[in-house]
Amino acid sequence: MLLSDGYQSYLEFITYERMLSEKTVASYQRAINQFLSYLKKQNIINCDQVSVFWVRRYLAEMHYSKLKSRSIAQKISSLRNWFQFLAQKNIVPANPFNGIKTPKLEKHLPKTLEVDEINVLLDKMPSDDFLSCRDKTIMELFYSSGIRLSELQAVQFNDLSISDSSIRVTGKGSKTRIVPIGSKALKLIKKWLTFRKSYTDEDETALFITESGLPLKHRSIQSRIAEWGIKLGATSRLHPHKFRHSCASHFLESSSDLRAVQELLGHADLSTTQIYTHLDFQHLARVYDSAHPRAKKKDE
């Protein structure tokens, strides 16, 4: 079978059977297309021509082009999954990516805001017109519930439960979960709904809309939050994930309940959530340095 045929059948599989998100499918497409372009230069067009030798050559080329370790790891993962699919369909005799080690990734702790800074920013942010009320509600909801940008953008009016102080979101892998809404966020949502009513009709189901009555897009949410960060004098650039990380970190600092944080964030694996334990330790270290008498004592 031609590589191009194996590519098309795999795209159909991950799109219609696995039902991966558009963003994830696009990521797979980029990785596979780049590998196909490389193989074409080597005059390799059939699935069974791809050997471990060519995989290692491609890996070396990516290293030589100074791609970041995370990018290389993502591409190798995408290609390994593709060839695993081909092997299961007996299109290739074996997966040439098995045994290929991905580069070690540097662990970057997610950036967060201090509790006091978030309180100051949100408390002084206005909410007396359509745009400011919508944007403040979004920011409060990000911080209150720790949801992802994609999850918030996709929230529908019917996903909201005022009586239960909760909202239903659809996360990675099309998995839904119910997350709580804090009192401040809930109060703003109620206020936002009065503005929303005047700018859209009953046919529009998106919870957050533009002044034209259309669903608010990802980029608009990102840019609006960044603009508010500048206006409000934030010490660093504001973006949706910073609120999510701050929510998780502050929740863990107060509760020490890692499982609860995992459920709140919608992490499939607890190891993903455990990165916040490092943030918690950093907080403890700062408190120690500022409060412990032996930590404050200077060397004589």
Is 172 tagged catalytic? yes
- Biggest CA–CA distance in the chain, Å, is 76
Is 276 tagged catalytic? yes
> Choosing from 75, 244, 245, 250, which is the catalytic residue?
244
The alpha helices in 109-266, defined as continuous H runs, are 115-124, 130-145, 149-154, 183-199, 218-232, 240-255, 258-265
Residue that has been written with the tokens 């509760």 in this structure:
255
Q: How far is CA 257 from CA 42, 164, 182, 246, 280, in A?
A: 53, 22, 18, 15, 12
Closest CA to 83 of 70, 100, 71: 100
> Choosing from 111, 187, 241, 283, which is the catalytic residue?
241
> Choosing from 80, 136, 148, 196, which is the catalytic residue?
148
Give DSSP secondary structure letters for 122-168.
Answer: HHHS--SSHHHHHHHHHHHHHHHH---HHHHHH-BGGGEETTTTEEE
Q: Region of 260 please: left (phi>0), alpha (psi -120 to 50) or beta.
A: alpha
Cβ contact 180:166 at 8 Å? yes
What is the C-alpha separation between 171 and 14, in angstroms, rounded? 17
What is the C-alpha separation between 26 and 22, in angstroms, rounded? 6
Q: Give the Cα-Cα-Cα angle 227, 142, 269 (nearest 5 degrees).
A: 130
> Choosing from 267, 286, 296, 297, which is the catalytic residue?
267
> Choosing from 168, 172, 191, 283, which is the catalytic residue?
172
> Choosing from 28, 58, 143, 276, which is the catalytic residue?
276
Q: Count the neighbouring beta carbons within 10 Å of the beta carbon of residue 243.
A: 27
Cβ contact 39:45 at 8 Å? yes
Is 241 tagged catalytic? yes
Catalytic residue list: 148, 172, 241, 244, 267, 276
